[in-house]
Structure 1
Amino acid sequence: MTPEPLSPKEIEDRLAELPGWALADDRITRSYQLPSHFAAAAMVVHIARTQDELNHHAVTTLGYDTVTLAVNTHAAGGAVTELDLELARRVERLAPLHGAGARA
Protein backbone atom coordinates (compact mmCIF):
# COMPACT_ATOMS: atom_id res chain seq x y z
CA MET A 1 0.00 0.00 0.00
CA THR A 2 1.40 3.38 -1.02
CA PRO A 3 1.58 5.95 1.77
CA GLU A 4 -0.68 8.97 1.26
CA PRO A 5 0.88 12.44 0.95
CA LEU A 6 0.20 14.72 3.89
CA SER A 7 -1.29 18.17 3.42
CA PRO A 8 0.85 21.22 4.24
CA LYS A 9 -1.21 21.72 7.43
CA GLU A 10 -0.73 18.09 8.50
CA ILE A 11 3.01 18.39 7.93
CA GLU A 12 3.16 21.65 9.90
CA ASP A 13 1.19 20.13 12.80
CA ARG A 14 3.37 17.03 12.97
CA LEU A 15 6.62 18.99 12.70
CA ALA A 16 5.51 21.04 15.71
CA GLU A 17 5.98 17.81 17.68
CA LEU A 18 9.51 17.36 16.27
CA PRO A 19 11.63 20.37 17.27
CA GLY A 20 14.58 20.88 14.95
CA TRP A 21 12.88 19.27 11.95
CA ALA A 22 11.75 21.52 9.10
CA LEU A 23 10.20 21.27 5.67
CA ALA A 24 12.57 22.24 2.87
CA ASP A 25 12.31 21.40 -0.83
CA ASP A 26 9.46 18.90 -0.32
CA ARG A 27 11.45 16.98 2.31
CA ILE A 28 11.65 17.07 6.07
CA THR A 29 15.18 17.76 7.24
CA ARG A 30 17.30 18.03 10.34
CA SER A 31 20.99 18.36 11.21
CA TYR A 32 22.57 17.10 14.41
CA GLN A 33 25.85 18.18 16.02
CA LEU A 34 27.77 15.36 17.71
CA PRO A 35 30.75 15.33 20.07
CA SER A 36 33.10 13.60 17.60
CA HIS A 37 33.40 12.03 14.18
CA PHE A 38 33.17 8.57 15.73
CA ALA A 39 29.90 9.49 17.50
CA ALA A 40 28.50 10.86 14.22
CA ALA A 41 29.48 7.69 12.34
CA ALA A 42 27.93 5.51 15.06
CA MET A 43 24.71 7.50 14.82
CA VAL A 44 24.63 6.95 11.05
CA VAL A 45 24.93 3.19 11.59
CA HIS A 46 22.10 3.28 14.12
CA ILE A 47 19.95 5.33 11.70
CA ALA A 48 20.71 2.81 8.93
CA ARG A 49 19.41 -0.03 11.10
CA THR A 50 16.25 1.96 11.88
CA GLN A 51 15.73 2.71 8.19
CA ASP A 52 16.05 -0.95 7.31
CA GLU A 53 13.48 -1.83 10.00
CA LEU A 54 11.05 0.64 8.43
CA ASN A 55 12.10 -0.18 4.86
CA HIS A 56 12.27 3.58 4.38
CA HIS A 57 15.50 5.49 3.80
CA ALA A 58 16.52 9.13 4.12
CA VAL A 59 19.33 10.92 2.37
CA THR A 60 21.83 10.82 5.23
CA THR A 61 24.97 12.94 5.16
CA LEU A 62 27.89 12.32 7.50
CA GLY A 63 30.16 15.28 8.17
CA TYR A 64 33.10 15.46 10.54
CA ASP A 65 30.88 15.81 13.61
CA THR A 66 27.47 16.28 12.02
CA VAL A 67 24.69 14.12 10.64
CA THR A 68 22.06 15.59 8.34
CA LEU A 69 18.91 13.85 7.15
CA ALA A 70 16.46 14.74 4.39
CA VAL A 71 13.50 12.47 3.73
CA ASN A 72 10.38 12.19 1.63
CA THR A 73 8.52 9.24 0.16
CA HIS A 74 9.43 8.34 -3.42
CA ALA A 75 6.45 5.96 -3.70
CA ALA A 76 4.16 8.95 -2.99
CA GLY A 77 5.67 11.07 -5.76
CA GLY A 78 8.29 12.65 -3.52
CA ALA A 79 5.71 13.95 -1.04
CA VAL A 80 6.02 13.91 2.74
CA THR A 81 4.03 11.07 4.32
CA GLU A 82 3.44 9.64 7.77
CA LEU A 83 6.28 7.19 7.03
CA ASP A 84 8.75 10.10 6.87
CA LEU A 85 7.52 11.42 10.19
CA GLU A 86 7.78 8.00 11.81
CA LEU A 87 11.42 7.82 10.70
CA ALA A 88 12.00 11.31 12.14
CA ARG A 89 10.41 10.30 15.47
CA ARG A 90 12.64 7.22 15.69
CA VAL A 91 15.77 9.21 14.87
CA GLU A 92 14.80 11.69 17.58
CA ARG A 93 14.65 8.86 20.12
CA LEU A 94 18.06 7.46 19.17
CA ALA A 95 19.93 10.77 18.74
CA PRO A 96 20.52 11.41 22.46
CA LEU A 97 22.13 7.97 22.78
CA HIS A 98 24.96 9.34 20.61
CA GLY A 99 25.23 12.74 22.31
CA ALA A 100 23.52 14.51 19.42
CA GLY A 101 22.04 17.96 19.59
CA ALA A 102 20.55 20.26 17.00
CA ARG A 103 23.12 21.93 14.81
CA ALA A 104 23.36 25.64 15.52
Structure 2
Amino acid sequence: MPAEPLLPSEIETRLRALPGWAREGGRITRTYRLPSHFAAAALTVHVAQIQEELGHHSDLTLGYNTVALSVNTHDAGGAITEKDLALATRVAAAAPAHGAE
Protein backbone atom coordinates (compact mmCIF):
# COMPACT_ATOMS: atom_id res chain seq x y z
CA MET A 1 0.00 0.00 0.00
CA PRO A 2 1.48 3.38 -0.98
CA ALA A 3 2.21 5.98 1.69
CA GLU A 4 -0.33 8.78 2.06
CA PRO A 5 0.72 12.37 1.28
CA LEU A 6 0.78 14.69 4.29
CA LEU A 7 -1.13 17.96 4.36
CA PRO A 8 1.05 21.07 3.89
CA SER A 9 0.14 22.31 7.37
CA GLU A 10 1.22 19.00 8.91
CA ILE A 11 4.52 19.10 7.01
CA GLU A 12 5.27 22.64 8.23
CA THR A 13 4.41 21.73 11.83
CA ARG A 14 6.64 18.67 11.75
CA LEU A 15 9.54 20.55 10.12
CA ARG A 16 9.60 23.00 13.03
CA ALA A 17 10.95 20.12 15.13
CA LEU A 18 13.73 19.48 12.58
CA PRO A 19 16.04 22.53 12.53
CA GLY A 20 17.64 23.16 9.17
CA TRP A 21 15.16 21.02 7.25
CA ALA A 22 12.91 22.88 4.81
CA ARG A 23 10.20 22.20 2.30
CA GLU A 24 11.27 23.01 -1.23
CA GLY A 25 8.46 22.31 -3.64
CA GLY A 26 7.44 18.70 -3.28
CA ARG A 27 10.52 17.66 -1.27
CA ILE A 28 12.10 18.20 2.10
CA THR A 29 15.77 19.15 2.07
CA ARG A 30 18.72 19.75 4.36
CA THR A 31 22.40 20.51 3.85
CA TYR A 32 24.80 19.71 6.68
CA ARG A 33 28.22 21.34 7.03
CA LEU A 34 30.93 19.19 8.60
CA PRO A 35 34.45 19.83 9.87
CA SER A 36 36.17 17.85 7.10
CA HIS A 37 35.64 15.77 4.00
CA PHE A 38 36.22 12.60 6.00
CA ALA A 39 33.47 13.57 8.47
CA ALA A 40 31.13 14.31 5.57
CA ALA A 41 31.90 10.92 4.00
CA ALA A 42 31.26 9.19 7.34
CA LEU A 43 27.89 10.93 7.69
CA THR A 44 27.03 9.89 4.12
CA VAL A 45 27.67 6.25 4.99
CA HIS A 46 25.64 6.59 8.19
CA VAL A 47 22.72 8.11 6.24
CA ALA A 48 22.94 5.28 3.71
CA GLN A 49 22.67 2.78 6.57
CA ILE A 50 19.61 4.57 7.98
CA GLN A 51 18.02 4.57 4.54
CA GLU A 52 18.56 0.83 4.18
CA GLU A 53 17.05 0.22 7.63
CA LEU A 54 13.97 2.27 6.74
CA GLY A 55 13.72 0.99 3.16
CA HIS A 56 13.41 4.62 2.06
CA HIS A 57 16.07 6.55 0.18
CA SER A 58 16.80 10.21 -0.45
CA ASP A 59 18.89 11.95 -3.05
CA LEU A 60 22.16 12.16 -1.13
CA THR A 61 25.04 14.39 -2.25
CA LEU A 62 28.54 14.39 -0.75
CA GLY A 63 30.55 17.59 -1.16
CA TYR A 64 33.95 18.51 0.22
CA ASN A 65 32.61 19.19 3.73
CA THR A 66 28.87 19.03 3.10
CA VAL A 67 26.15 16.43 2.87
CA ALA A 68 22.89 17.38 1.17
CA LEU A 69 19.67 15.40 1.29
CA SER A 70 16.50 15.85 -0.73
CA VAL A 71 13.61 13.46 -0.24
CA ASN A 72 10.03 12.72 -1.19
CA THR A 73 8.09 9.50 -1.61
CA HIS A 74 8.03 8.10 -5.13
CA ASP A 75 5.22 5.61 -4.51
CA ALA A 76 3.02 8.51 -3.31
CA GLY A 77 3.44 10.35 -6.59
CA GLY A 78 6.42 12.36 -5.36
CA ALA A 79 4.54 13.76 -2.35
CA ILE A 80 5.94 14.29 1.13
CA THR A 81 4.86 11.51 3.50
CA GLU A 82 5.53 10.18 6.96
CA LYS A 83 8.37 8.12 5.45
CA ASP A 84 10.24 11.30 4.53
CA LEU A 85 9.83 12.84 7.96
CA ALA A 86 10.89 9.60 9.65
CA LEU A 87 14.07 9.60 7.55
CA ALA A 88 14.74 13.27 8.34
CA THR A 89 14.24 12.63 12.06
CA ARG A 90 16.72 9.75 12.06
CA VAL A 91 19.31 11.73 10.09
CA ALA A 92 18.88 14.75 12.38
CA ALA A 93 19.55 12.51 15.39
CA ALA A 94 22.68 10.97 13.81
CA ALA A 95 24.28 14.08 12.30
CA PRO A 96 25.64 15.74 15.48
CA ALA A 97 27.82 12.71 16.27
CA HIS A 98 29.70 13.47 13.02
CA GLY A 99 30.19 17.15 13.92
CA ALA A 100 27.46 18.29 11.51
CA GLU A 101 25.97 21.75 11.73
Shared fold by TM > 0.5?
A: yes
Supply the AA of the counterpart residue of 1:52. E
Q: Note the residue ranges of structure 1 that are not aligned, 5 or more in a row.
A: none
Count of residue correspondences: 101
- RMSD of equivalent CA atoms: 0.5
- TM-score, scaled to structure 1: 0.95
**Over 4 Å off, 4+ runs:** none
Match of 2:54 in 1: 54
Does residue 14 of structure 1 match 2:24? no
The 2-side partners of 1:21 and 1:100 are apart by 13
Quick one: distance in 2 between partners of 1:62 and 1:2? 29
In structure 2, distance between residues paired with 1:57 and 1:74: 10
In structure 2, list runs of 5 or more residues that go unmatched.
none
TM-score (norm 2): 0.98
The percent of aligned pairs where both chains have the same amino acid is: 64
Structure 1 residue 71 corresponds to structure 2 residue 77: no
Deviation at 1:75, TM superposition (A): 0.3
Q: How does 1:1-104 map to 2 (within 5 A)?
A: 1-101=1-101
Shift of 1:2: 1.1
